[in-house]
Structure 1
Amino acid sequence: MGSVPTSASHFAALPTAPRDEIFALLGEFRRDTHPQRVNLGAGVYCDNDGEPFPLDVVRTVEKSMNEKADPHRHDYTPIEGDQEFLALARKFVFGDACDESRLTSVQTVSGSGANHVGARFLANTIRPRRVWLSAPTWANHELIWATVGVPVHFYPYYNAETRALDFAAMVETLEKEAEANDVIVLHACAHNPTGLDPTKEQWIVLGELCQRKGIFPFFDNAYQGFASGDPSIDAWAIRHFAQLQPPIEMCVAQSFSKNLGLYGHRAGAFHVVATGEGCTPAAKDAVTANLAQIIRSEYSVSPRYGSDIVKAVLGNKDLTRKWQAELHTMAGRIIAMRVCLYEELRRLGTPGSWTHIIDQIGMFSYTGLTPPEVTYLKEKFHIYIHSSGRISIAGLNTKNVKYVAAAIHAVRSDPSLVTSA
Structure 2
Amino acid sequence: MALKNLGDLPVLPLPESFALTAAYNEDSFPNKVNLGQGVYRDNNCQPWVLPSVRKAEETLHNQQVNHEYLPIAGDSKFLTKARDLLFSPEIGSSENITSLQTIAGTGANHLAAIFCARNLHPKNVFISDPTWDNHHLIWEVAAPNVTRKLYPYYEPSTRGLNFEGMLAELENSAEENDVVILHACAHNPTGIDPTKEQWKKIAEVVGRKKLFVVFDCAYQGFASGDTDADAWAIRYFYSTLFAESSSLTPAGMFVCQSLSKNFGLYGERIGALHLVTPSSNSPEGAKAHLVQFVRAEISCPSLFGARIVQTVLDDAELRSKWQEDVRIMALRIKGVRTLLKLELEKLGTPGDWSHIEQQIGMFSFTGLSSAQVQELKEKHHIYMLSNGRMSLSGLNESNVAYVAQAIRDVL
The TM-score with structure 1 as length reference comes to: 0.93
How far did 1:255 drift?
A: 0.3
SS in 2 for 1:251: strand
C-alpha separation between the residues in 2 aligned to 1:75 and 1:100?
30
How far did 1:17 drift?
A: 2.3
Percent of matched pairs sharing the same residue = 48
SS in 1 for 2:292: helix
**Residues 98 and 242, structure 1, Cα contact 8 Å, conserved in 2:** no
1:151 aligns with 2:147: yes
Cross-structure match for 1:415: none
How far did 1:296 drift?
A: 1.0
**Residues 84 and 91, structure 2, Cα contact 8 Å, conserved in 1:** no
Cross-structure match for 1:290: 289
1:127 aligns with 2:121: yes
C-alpha separation between the residues in 2 aligned to 1:319 and 1:128?
43
Matches within 5 A, 1:85-234: 85-95=78-88, 96-97=90-91, 99-147=93-141, 148-149=143-144, 150-234=146-230
**Residues 74 and 300, structure 2, Cα contact 8 Å, conserved in 1:** yes
C-alpha separation between the residues in 2 aligned to 1:173 and 1:139?
20
The aligned amino acid for 1:302 is P
How far did 1:402 drift?
A: 0.6
Residue of 272, 276, 283 corresponding to 2:275 = 272
The aligned amino acid for 1:141 is H
**Residues 34 and 384, structure 2, Cα contact 8 Å, conserved in 1:** yes
C-alpha separation between the residues in 2 aligned to 1:302 and 1:268?
10
C-alpha separation between the residues in 1 aligned to 2:168 and 2:377?
38
C-alpha separation between the residues in 2 aligned to 1:213 and 1:288?
25
The aligned amino acid for 1:268 is G
Q: Any idea what the Cα deviations from partners look like across 1:307-342, whole Å, max 9, x if unmatched?
A: 110010111111111100111111000001000000
Q: Any idea what the Cα deviations from partners look like across 1:210-267, whole Å, max 9, x if unmatched?
A: 0101111110000001110000000000000001124442110000111000000001
The aligned amino acid for 1:238 is I
C-alpha separation between the residues in 2 aligned to 1:400 and 1:77?
45
SS in 1 for 2:206: helix
SS in 2 for 1:205: helix
C-alpha separation between the residues in 1 aligned to 2:200 and 2:284?
31
Residue of 53, 60, 63 corresponding to 2:58 = 63
Cross-structure match for 2:328: 329
C-alpha separation between the residues in 1 aligned to 2:390 and 2:174?
31
**Residues 76 and 301, structure 1, Cα contact 8 Å, conserved in 2:** yes
Cross-structure match for 1:3: none
Cross-structure match for 1:367: 366
The aligned amino acid for 1:291 is L
SS in 2 for 1:332: helix
**Residues 84 and 92, structure 2, Cα contact 8 Å, conserved in 1:** no
Structure 1 runs, 4 residues or longer, greater than 4 Å off: none
C-alpha separation between the residues in 2 aligned to 1:100 and 1:205?
25
C-alpha separation between the residues in 1 aligned to 2:309 and 2:121?
33
**Residues 136 and 193, structure 1, Cα contact 8 Å, conserved in 2:** yes
Q: Any idea what the Cα deviations from partners look like across 1:259-315, whole Å, max 9, x if unmatched?
A: 0000000010000001143x23xxx32222111110111111111111110010111
Structure 1 unaligned runs (5+)?
1-7, 413-421
How far did 1:15 drift?
A: 2.4
Q: Any idea what the Cα deviations from partners look like across 1:17-65, whole Å, max 9, x if unmatched?
A: 2320000000011111111010000011111111111000000011111
How far did 1:9 drift?
A: 5.7
Residue of 77, 82, 86 corresponding to 2:75 = 82
Aligned residues: 399
**Residues 73 and 101, structure 2, Cα contact 8 Å, conserved in 1:** yes
How far did 1:99 drift?
A: 4.9
**Residues 110 and 139, structure 2, Cα contact 8 Å, conserved in 1:** yes
The TM-score with structure 2 as length reference comes to: 0.95
The aligned amino acid for 2:336 is M
Q: Any idea what the Cα deviations from partners look like across 1:47-103, whole Å, max 9, x if unmatched?
A: 111111100000001111112211x2x111111100000011110110134552011
Q: Any idea what the Cα deviations from partners look like across 1:336-395, whole Å, max 9, x if unmatched?
A: 100000010001001122111011000000001111111111111110010001000111
C-alpha separation between the residues in 1 aligned to 2:370 and 2:222?
28
SS in 2 for 1:100: coil
The aligned amino acid for 2:259 is F
Which protein shows a greater Rg? 1
Q: Any idea what the Cα deviations from partners look like across 1:101-140, whole Å, max 9, x if unmatched?
A: 0111100000000000111011111111110000000000
The aligned amino acid for 2:309 is V
Cross-structure match for 1:33: 28
**Residues 61 and 313, structure 1, Cα contact 8 Å, conserved in 2:** yes
Of 92-101 and 260-269, more deviation after overlay is shown by 92-101
Structure 2 unaligned runs (5+)?
241-245
1:242 aligns with 2:238: yes
How far did 1:14 drift?
A: 1.3
Cross-structure match for 1:50: 45
Of 385-394 and 239-248, more deviation after overlay is shown by 239-248
Root-mean-square deviation (CA, aligned residues, Å) is 1.2
